Chain A
Amino acid sequence: MHESAIAKSILEIVSQRLHSIGAPATAHNVSVVFGEFRNAEPESVEFAFDNMKAFYPGAANCQLVINTISAMAQCKRAQHKYHPEASNAYRCPTCDSGIGNLLQGEELDVVNVVVELDQTE
């Protein structure tokens, strides 16, 4: 269950952001991107996130917004751009060579954290 470790890392980044504001604040949502060529299953990460967030001050009501990014490869032989798929053993549909560069699909990033500043007067 490395998805728990991923969820924990996201919550730690949220906590750091809240701390860096230097004023009372709560996290409203955190947006992340998962590339197709990463072992991060959105539903499992979301489940772990929702079960752990209450333990992080200011994050109890934080929503996790996950965007997945399809893989895009450049083939080894002719640099054709294509979407590598398991059904085709990840080979280039044009020339049948393998993945040279992965142009996208290896992302595992926090994009932004939306916070609400508590302005009591």
Chain B
Amino acid sequence: MHESADEHTMERILNKNDELAEHNRDHFREAMTCTVNLMSAPGAGKTSLLEATFRMAGRKFSSTVIEGDMVGELDADRIRKTGVSVHQISTGRSCHLDANMVARLLHSEKMEKTDVLFIENVGNLVCPAEFNLGEFKRVVLLSVTEGDDKPIKYPVIFRNCDLVVFTKCDLLEYVEFNLGEAEKNIQAINPDVVTMQVSSKTGYGMDKWTSWIQSQIEAYRQEQKQTKHVHQHSH
């Protein structure tokens, strides 16, 4: 004999991921590390931006990197050459990082206490948008070789970010990329977002980018100071 029962739940589907993201946030809070999640399509220049950042930032701030890639350590090797510590997450068949992958790394490897931790997500403009990692800020890179219509095609990731960086701007004169149109498309989806233009190759706009990072490090520290409750973190 069977009996039916309606179990009312109303639960966020990604609740478990969000809980783990909060756990990761606790780790970052303990280290007072400002964490930035870098997202973009494959080949938009995330690793190049980081290489240029470390070349130019000098002693302005200290950094660590978590490299998310499906296969191999090609990007991690590039970061290692800059002298910045890098921790690899190989996602295998998964097209994005999730909070659990980051949590496993935080529990298995000793993370350096640095001013900023960059998490380079898997190159993809769809899936990474759905998974909170515990980051302080989300940055989306849009290279000028991709097309100014991308914000319209991928609204979720552009809606849920704090900064959009136009990369490869040294190529602007060679491609049909309308910066004004791209800005307009982004502002329609996310009117409060900040945008900036850089070229990792020539260094154009890099001062503005590193200044933004510095301002976020400061904002993160201020936010933590204002957090009144004393956090008790247990594993």
B-binding residues in A (CB < 8 A): 1-2, 5-6, 9-10, 12-13, 17, 21, 25, 28, 32, 37-40, 76, 86, 89-91, 97-100, 102, 108-121
Contact indicator B189/A113 (Cβ below 8 Å): no
Complex formed: what's the CA distance from A25 to B4 in Å? 9
B115: chain A residues at CB < 8 Å are none
A-binding residues in B (CB < 8 A): 1-17, 93-96, 98, 126-127, 129-131, 152-153, 155-156, 159, 184-185, 187-191
A121: chain B residues at CB < 8 Å are 1
Partner of A39 from the list B15, B130, B190 (CB cut-off 8 Å) is B130
Contact indicator B9/A111 (Cβ below 8 Å): yes
B191: chain A residues at CB < 8 Å are 76, 97-100
Q: B195 CB to closest chain A CB, in angstroms?
A: 13
Report the number of A-B residue pairs with Cβ-Cβ less than 8 Å.
Answer: 118
A102: chain B residues at CB < 8 Å are 159
Q: Which residue of A lies closest to B185 (CB)?
A: A89
Most B CB atoms within 10 A — which of A5, A9, A17, A110? A5
In terms of DSSP, what is the predominant structure of the interface of chain B?
mixed
List of 4 A-B pairs having minimum Cβ-Cβ separation, nearest first: A2-B127, A98-B188, A98-B191, A76-B191
Complex formed: what's the CA distance from A32 to B14 in Å? 12
Contact indicator B188/A99 (Cβ below 8 Å): yes
Contact indicator B1/A120 (Cβ below 8 Å): yes
Contact indicator A116/B8 (Cβ below 8 Å): no
Q: Which residue of A lies closest to B100 (CB)?
A: A5
Contact indicator B2/A118 (Cβ below 8 Å): yes
- What are 30 A-B interface contacts by the 8 Å CB criterion? A1-B95, A2-B130, A6-B130, A9-B15, A9-B17, A17-B7, A21-B5, A37-B159, A38-B130, A38-B156, A39-B126, A39-B127, A40-B130, A89-B152, A89-B188, A91-B188, A99-B188, A99-B189, A99-B191, A108-B13, A109-B10, A110-B9, A111-B10, A112-B7, A112-B9, A114-B4, A114-B6, A117-B2, A118-B2, A119-B2
With A114-B4, A116-B2, A117-B2 known as contacts, the answer to whether A10 contacts B190 (CB < 8 A) is no
With A2-B95, A97-B191, A99-B159 known as contacts, the answer to whether A10 contacts B9 (CB < 8 A) is no
Contact indicator B155/A86 (Cβ below 8 Å): yes
Complex formed: what's the CA distance from A5 to B117 in Å? 25
Partner of B13 from the list A32, A39, A98 (CB cut-off 8 Å) is A32
